Structure 1
Amino acid sequence: MTDRDARTPGSRPGREDVLDTLLARVHDGLGTAVTDRVTAQGGPPELRPPDLALDRLLAAAHRSIGTAVTRRRSREARAALAQRNPELEARLSERGPLFNRPSPVRVKYRQEALRLAHRYWPADLAEGMRAAVRMVQNLTDLLEGTAQTVTDAELVVEQLRESLRAMSRLPKPQRPPVTLTGLDYLVAVESVLAEPAERLLHDLHRVQQLLDEELEPAIFTLESSSPGYVFGVDAVAQDLIDDLTQGCDQADALARAVAEVERASSDFVGADLSSAKLDGVLLEGILWDATTVWPGEWESLVRRASLPSGEERGVLIVAAEPSETVIHAEA
């Protein structure tokens, strides 16, 4: 992470930041000068004593400044890490069981895990369940016993049936036994998603049965029934609302499970990814910070492709797929 990444956006650089930047620039400039003098255009030059003395002086200055820069940045990195540790511990305490899986495994199967989460959450099911509750509540307001009201009620029932049918198009939950090998990470992911999905599907099935077997037949006979029959239809509608409200709780549980999978697939703050194989892995959207360890050949690419996440201080997000041509986030 660059010095500007480490500062709060909008803050002015302090004297130490300016000194570090100046030292780094002098160090780089002297390194270039030494390299140019030694290599020249046609190979190593034949140096006369004054030139040799100047080269040795430049080389010594280059080594000294490089050592100073390294020491200063090491101190700053240790200080930043000491400050970051409490925040990191608090973040770790909020994570679910999927975070116990090795970070290289989580990043390797990231795309597949996100695809599973999308299958179990193709739309906002929690809002869909709440919309279904509102439909039934509106239905009870329509039940006044007139022919026109019955027609409107039948339309609402059909809309509710279609909504329930759409929400029931979840994958059939599969929860095979979870083993400890890295290749079974996706099995663990599906297990996290399958449990609340199974309960939600059960509630949706019960609601559909109540709608098809009790409420809809009651509405069809409402026009030819006595006015008192409306109270019986209202009771069935209230039972339907109660079941849908319970289904809302299951939809919320599934939403939390999906969020856990997404966090485990994207939150690599403090993770050790030094042994991860990142070729072909989708990195866009990954959260990381100064304590994240990347494979050596990937670190500079990821830095150039990242921006401040805006979630908390010091956390970056990979904003584009890393490549040699990515424009630096500070440009």
Structure 2
Amino acid sequence: MTDRDPRSPEAGAGRDDGLFDGLDGGLFDGLDALLARAHERLGTAVTDRITAQGGPPELRSPDLALDRLLAAAHRSVGTAVTRRRSRETRAALDRRDLALEARLAQRGPLSGRPSPVRVKYRQQALRLAHRYWPTDLAQGMRAAVHTVQSLSELLEDSTQSAARVESVVDQLREQLRQLSRLPKPHRSPVTLTGLDYLVAVESTLAGPADRLLQDLHRVQQLLDEVLGPAIATLGTSPPGYLYGVDAVAQDLIDDLTQGCDQADALARAVAEVERASTDFVGADLSSARLDGVLLEGILWDATTAWPGEWETLVRRASLPSGEDVGILVVAAEPCDHAIHAEA
């Protein structure tokens, strides 16, 4: 015999918990808290109204009460969304500032020059960079090293003819001639005035170019004065003479390897000039005169300040750069909705 009749109301009341066993308790906690706050606010409103009018509050239609409830909910949600978007906006600005600081840290001394000066003389600066880097000199130097290594292997093979060895020497001479086609380094005293920006650009390029030319001159001298004559008399020389020729070839490899380092240094200098002439992310160009300036290839973002109505024109001619989010590049798309890059 049980204490309660299963059909009694008390027995059903005792099984309320089992009805919601599969539901999340946290949902009811939140709902209870919401209802408690609503009840508290309703009680406060009723008390205030009774106190103010000296009697019970007048009845409101259910639709009006629902409208007020929805309006209150809309205000609460709007406030929450505004706060969240403010936090997200601040976080996005912080990330952008960090990215800009990292970008600025990668720039060289030329990028520290005034932005209006850099954009004004960007065509001349890029022309100088092309003069000092007419081809991929670093790849050319490594190709010359490979040629000397092939020459050394030929010297070790006694079955190779002298004509084959001399053809490789001629190939090396041509490679060195192509690599030596650099402008004679010209470095003038650098001052701090904006008009001397191009002097600073050429000084940046001339240093490693001068050292590269010295290494190439030393290699050519060793080839023409030592290795070339030694190979010419290789057929009439004793077998031991070959070791001396191979040692000279190894000296050539060492000198060319050192020249590769100078070619890499010149490549970094050229990259710095190109960066200073192209990267205007976060730059203040509001005072720059852009008439007649080649804008194609310039990188910019929302923090870049353009003069007058130029921002609208530049934005129409720009595309995402693909480097980082928010960075655009001025592209040459001559159509009704884009300006010419040279404009």
Does TM-score exceed 0.5, indicating one fold?
Answer: yes
Native 8 Å contact 2:154 2:160 kept in 1: no
User: Cα deviation per residue 1:250-307 (whole Å; 9 max; x = unaligned)?
Assistant: 0000000000000000000000000010111110100011111111221011101111
Question: In the alignment, which residue of structure 2 is the partner of 1:102?
Answer: 114
Partners of 1:141 and 1:124 in 2: CA distance? 26
Question: In the alignment, which residue of structure 2 is the partner of 1:48?
Answer: none
Partners of 1:323 and 1:292 in 2: CA distance? 24
Offset at residue 82 of structure 1 (A): 3.8
Amino acid across the alignment from 1:200: L
Offset at residue 83 of structure 1 (A): 3.3
Residue 188 to residue 317, structure 1, CA distance change in 2 (3 Å): same
Partners of 1:325 and 1:172 in 2: CA distance? 45
1:273 maps to 2:288:
no
* Count of aligned residue pairs for this structure pair: 255
1:175 maps to 2:175:
no
Offset at residue 169 of structure 1 (A): 1.0
Offset at residue 131 of structure 1 (A): 0.3
Native 8 Å contact 1:284 1:321 kept in 2: no
1:132 maps to 2:144:
yes
SS in 2 for 1:307: strand
User: Cα deviation per residue 1:100-157 (whole Å; 9 max; x = unaligned)?
Assistant: 1000000000000000000000000000000000000000111147585211111111
Among 300, 309, 312, the residue aligned to 2:312 = 300
Offset at residue 81 of structure 1 (A): 3.9
Amino acid across the alignment from 1:216: G
Question: In the alignment, which residue of structure 2 is the partner of 1:118?
Answer: 130
| RMSD (CA atoms) | 2.2
Residue 76 to residue 268, structure 1, CA distance change in 2 (3 Å): farther
Partners of 2:334 and 2:88 in 1: CA distance? 26
Amino acid across the alignment from 2:252: L
Residue 74 to residue 271, structure 1, CA distance change in 2 (3 Å): farther
Partners of 1:192 and 1:268 in 2: CA distance? 20
Residue 323 to residue 80, structure 1, CA distance change in 2 (3 Å): farther
Native 8 Å contact 1:207 1:244 kept in 2: yes
Percent identity, aligned pairs only, is 78
Native 8 Å contact 2:287 2:307 kept in 1: yes
Amino acid across the alignment from 1:224: T
Native 8 Å contact 1:81 1:291 kept in 2: no
Question: In the alignment, which residue of structure 1 is the partner of 2:255?
Answer: 243
SS in 2 for 1:317: strand
Native 8 Å contact 2:212 2:262 kept in 1: yes
SS in 1 for 2:161: helix
Among 230, 236, 259, the residue aligned to 1:224 = 236
Offset at residue 79 of structure 1 (A): 6.7
Greater relative CO (CA pairs within 8 A, separation 6+): 1
User: TM-score normalized by structure 1?
Assistant: 0.73
Partners of 1:186 and 1:78 in 2: CA distance? 40
Native 8 Å contact 1:143 1:149 kept in 2: no
Amino acid across the alignment from 1:135: T
Partners of 1:326 and 1:320 in 2: CA distance? 8
Offset at residue 324 of structure 1 (A): 5.9
Native 8 Å contact 1:145 1:227 kept in 2: no
Partners of 2:179 and 2:157 in 1: CA distance? 31
Question: In the alignment, which residue of structure 2 is the partner of 1:91?
Answer: 103
SS in 2 for 1:213: helix
Alignment of 1:1-331 (within 5 A): 80-144=92-156, 148-320=160-332, 325-326=337-338
Native 8 Å contact 1:146 1:223 kept in 2: no
SS in 1 for 2:138: helix
